[in-house]
């Protein structure tokens, strides 16, 4: 067995062992072509259910209709990476606040092979940040705006 083959096997096992991040590959047109255990946990789809489907289904219907998924791929194409946060949807319809990175994958001739997508559920962090922001603007006892709101 060659060293490259062993490296490929080790890499696949590494990706599959990551549980807190959804890590998957998209084809050049945004079709899901690989799926790790972290993606299954975060989004609820088994690999058999999601591979071959367009990744836009993780976005809200309004975002799908306005072309947000395709725009994110376009940004990744132009700059090499897209990074952002927003609501993403699970198989059961529930949503979570996600930090998303989309990187372009190219071969030695710079031909686009597809995209690597990493998604992390940061709902708890967002809830804490939202609570801190609320506390900075409103009185905890009365719930009324404090002086910050008036200036």
Find, among 108, 112, 88, the residue nearest to 99 by Cα: 88
At residue 46, the 3 state secondary structure works out as coil
Banded model confidence at residue 8, pLDDT cuts 50, 70, 90: low
Res 132 pLDDT > 90: no
Which domains occur in the chain, in start order? 3-122 (3.30.450.20)
Share of the chain above pLDDT 70, in %: 84
Residue 150: per-residue pLDDT: 56
Mean pLDDT, all residues of the chain: 87
Residue 120: per-residue pLDDT: 94
Instruction: Compute the half-sphere exposure of residue 124: CA atoms within 13 Å on the CB side of its CA.
Output: 1
pLDDT tens digits, one per residue of 67-125: 999 999 999 999 999 999 999 999 999 999 999 999 999 999 999 999 999 999 998 88
The overall pTM is greater than 0.75: yes
Banded model confidence at residue 18, pLDDT cuts 50, 70, 90: low
Give alpha helix (H) positions in 51-122.
61-65, 68-79
């Amino acid at each position: 067995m060659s060293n490259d083959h062993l490296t490929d096997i080790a890499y696949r096992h590494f990706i599959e062992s990551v549980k807190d991040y959804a890590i998957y590959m998209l084809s050049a047109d945004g079709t899901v072509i690989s799926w790790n255990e972290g993606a299954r946990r975060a989004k609820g789809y088994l690999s058999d259910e999601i591979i071959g489907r367009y990744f836009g289904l993780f976005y809200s219907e309004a975002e799908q209709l306005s072309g947000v998924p395709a725009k994110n791929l376009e940004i990744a194409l132009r700059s090499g990476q897209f990074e952002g946060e927003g609501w993403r949807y699970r198989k059961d319809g529930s949503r979570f606040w996600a930090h998303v990175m989309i990187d372009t994958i190219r071969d030695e001739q710079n031909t686009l092979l597809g995209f690597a997508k990493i998604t992390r559920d940061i709902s708890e962090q967002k809830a804490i940040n939202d609570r801190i922001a609320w506390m900075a603007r409103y009185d905890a006892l009365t719930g009324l705006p404090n002086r910050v709101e008036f200036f």
